[in-house]
Structure formats: structure tokens, C-alpha cells
Amino acid sequence: MSDARDALGGADTFLRMWRELLPVGREPRSGGYRRYAWSDADAECRAWFREQAEARGLAYEVDRNGNQWAWLGDPSEGDAVVTGSHLDSVPDGGAFDGPLGVVSSFAALDELRARESAPRRPVGIVNFGDEEGARFGLACVGSRLTAGQLSPEAARELRDADGVSLPEAMERAGYDPAAIGPDPERLARIGAFVELHVEQGRALDLSGDPVGIASAIWPHGRWRFDFRGEANHAGTTRLDDRRDPMLTYATTVLAARKKARLAGALATFGKVAVEPNGVNAIPSLVRGWLDSRAADEETLAAVVEEIERAATERGSRDGVDVTVTRESFTPVVEFEHALRDHVAKLLGPPVPVLPTGAGHDAGILSASVPTAMLFVRNPTGVSHSPAEAAAEDDCLAGVTALADVLEGLACP
């Protein structure tokens, strides 16, 4: 690999890095990505991150929670400016969600060097582990642990679909899980965190802007609905004699759509597990996971309550027991106004400021350090899908914008 310190600037190195990372973890049949936490594909991504750090002469380290860091300057001096995102994906996810922010961070640093801008504050680039939660069912594990929003005890109980625990997965990948937990000393070194991300929506496409600034993240959470009925033979059991949890589940899915629409919120059942999962067997258990989001916490709570009520009422008619467990919840995040406004000034002409319904590591860190987010236009608005897209010119505009922000924050 050529030494990135000899590169012409951010645009040149962005394109080279993007091409290098693009094949990693790609599923040929779907065209999407399966970069799950602590998997082989994740290991390739992590190796790529380390190579990029070392090629630039940056100090590389892995923290107690498995997050990767690359440093220009000494982070122990404090008041560091940090940027980055994540490299893992949802099942068959798109190429841009997460990796765009990490690749752009290295490219923005290259751009600063091409401008001969000398940072007066330490500058860091981070790859947070397991942001998507695709393997263990909880989003932002790496940043939650670091920020103290996930206890080590709870993290050690996380298991994937095959029963592999988070500590076991980390050990298999060559990392020591014994030290996982809050890292307040590390967070205290950070003066500002700025995450660049592809927009997961079409607001920028509709406004005609390549780059935007985040104002807030909607409150959101995940709830597990367990529908317990009675297994029986599909070919011999009368319809009136059945306790079929699939009927209750299906009705609940429709109710979730209706309740969310009426409240101006979002509700999605995107994952389901069935037991015994036989074509000719009435299920004994249907387990569905609800993802719900809204502009404010009161609306979100009301929507989930309405969905749970609809499920319980239908379950009583079907002879099905319904239990609901909240597995995760992230309150509304208002990005620090002072940093957000400063970022807007650094970018010059008026830049759209918009909220998002998607969760991010920046949202987790916002409770501990000043954070801001930049969005890059997504012409289709599609995300968490192989159809996720961003034009090359818009990606490079994002690199320039991030470089401008880093220069304004770290090189005043």
C-alpha cells in the first residue's frame, strides 16, 4: 500500500480507500454487506483501519471496549477533536452507512495535510465497534460501553442467534473482553466529536444540498414482543381450536403501522423468530422485534403503549399470551447548539440543519462530550439496503466540509 502521507489530498485518497474497502464483507447474491461485529468481515475492516492509521504515521490503539483509535498528536493533552463513525453493517446493508464517515475522516486529515494546516489540538479518528447491533441485538455497543450507558454485566449477557456471547465473540476475534466498561478518562480527553454520515432520508435531495448539519436525533428504541400459543398439527387442528400466535403477531404488525401513522411516528417489525418453525406446524411461539421512533419521547411512549394494547387485546381473542420487553432505548438527542452553530459558520453559506430518526454513536457520546453531525446527500433516501447511495461528487463535498470543520476546530 502506498504511503498516504504522499497523497495529493483528500479527494485522491478518499477514492483509493473507498475502492479498497468496498469488497470487504459483500454478499454476492444480494449485493449488500454482512459486516457483523467480531466476524471475519469485521476483522478485515479493522485491519484496514489499522493500515490506514499506520500509513499516515498516526498513533494506533484499541480501547478497553474494542473501539479503534488513530491519533495525530498526543490525546493525553486533552481538548482533542475527534471524528469517525463505524464499519459494521446491518444484514445486507448498504456501503455508505458508517464506512463513509470513517473513510471521509482519513481523507479529511489528508486534506488538512495537503493544505499544510497544522492542528494545535490533538486530532483523532475512531471506529466504534458494533454500532448497528446486527449480531447481538443492541445498537451502539462500543460507544454505549465507553459512555457508561451499558453496564459490563449487561454486555456480557448479550448473545447472538447461535448463542455465542459477546465476550466469547471478542475472544475468538483476538480481543480481551475482561476490561470492558466505562471509559470516562478517554471521554474527558475529547473536546469535540464530529461524525459524518450518509443521510438516511431524502431531505438534502429535496433541498438540492450536498451536505447538511444534524439538529437532533429522534428518541428511539427496540421492544421484543413474545406471542405464546400452542403448537399443533396444521393439517388436523380445526381453526376454531387453534391458539395460533402468528395471527396475533400479524394483527400487531398492522396495528403498529396504523398507530404510528396516526401519531406521525415510525414503527417497524423488521425481525421475527418462529418456533418450532415448521411448514406443517402451528407455531408455539412467535417473537417479533419492534423498532419505533418519534419526534419526542411522549409521542414514542404513547405509540408503543397503543401497539402493546392492540397486541394484548388480539391475544386474548386468539388464546395467545403476549409479553413485551424493552431491550433498548435512546432518548431524544439535541446536539449542542454552540458546536452546531460553530460548525455551520465554518461551512460558510447557509447549510441545511435537519433532524434524523436514525441513531448514531454521536448521539450516545452527546451526553458526555460536545458532538455534531454532518450528513451527505442520499439521492434515493434508501438506507440499510444495497440500494443505499451517494454520488461521488457529494462524497467529496463531504470530505471537504469535514476538513473545513476539523481545520476550524483544531487549527485556529
pLDDT digits (tens, 9 = 90+) for 285-298: 999 999 999 999 99
3 within 8 A of 113, measured Cβ to Cβ: no
- Using DSSP, how many helices (H) and how many strands (E) does the chain show? 13, 15
DSSP summary character for residue 368: T
Give CA angle at 394 (391, 395), nearest 5°. Answer: 85
pLDDT digits (tens, 9 = 90+) for 53-101: 999 999 999 999 999 999 999 999 999 999 999 999 999 999 999 999 9
Q: Kindly state the helix (H) or strand (E) to which residue 224 belongs, with its residue range.
A: strand 220-228
Grid cell at residue 298: 411522549
pLDDT for the residue 33:
97
Question: How are strands ordered across the β-sheet holding 285-293?
Answer: 266-275, 285-293, 220-228, 321-330
Q: What does the buried/exposed string (b/e) look like for 121-135 if buried means 16 or more CB atoms within 10 Å of the residue's CB?
A: bbbbbbbbbbbbbbb
pLDDT for the residue 8:
57
Mean pLDDT, range 381-391, rounded to an integer: 95
pLDDT digits (tens, 9 = 90+) for 300-333: 999 999 999 999 999 999 999 999 999 988 889 9
Query: Where do we find the cell 419526542?
Result: 296
pTM equals 0.84
Q: Kindly state the helix (H) or strand (E) to which residue 314 belongs, with its residue range.
A: helix 297-318
Residue 405 gets the label, from left (phi > 0), alpha (psi -120 to 50) or beta, of alpha
Output the 3-class SS for 142-173. Answer: HHHHHHCCCCHHHHHCCECCCCCEHHHHHHHC
Task: Report whether the peptide linkage leading into residue 350 is cis, meaning its omega lies within 30 degrees of zero.
Answer: no
pLDDT digits (tens, 9 = 90+) for 19-34: 999 999 999 999 999 9
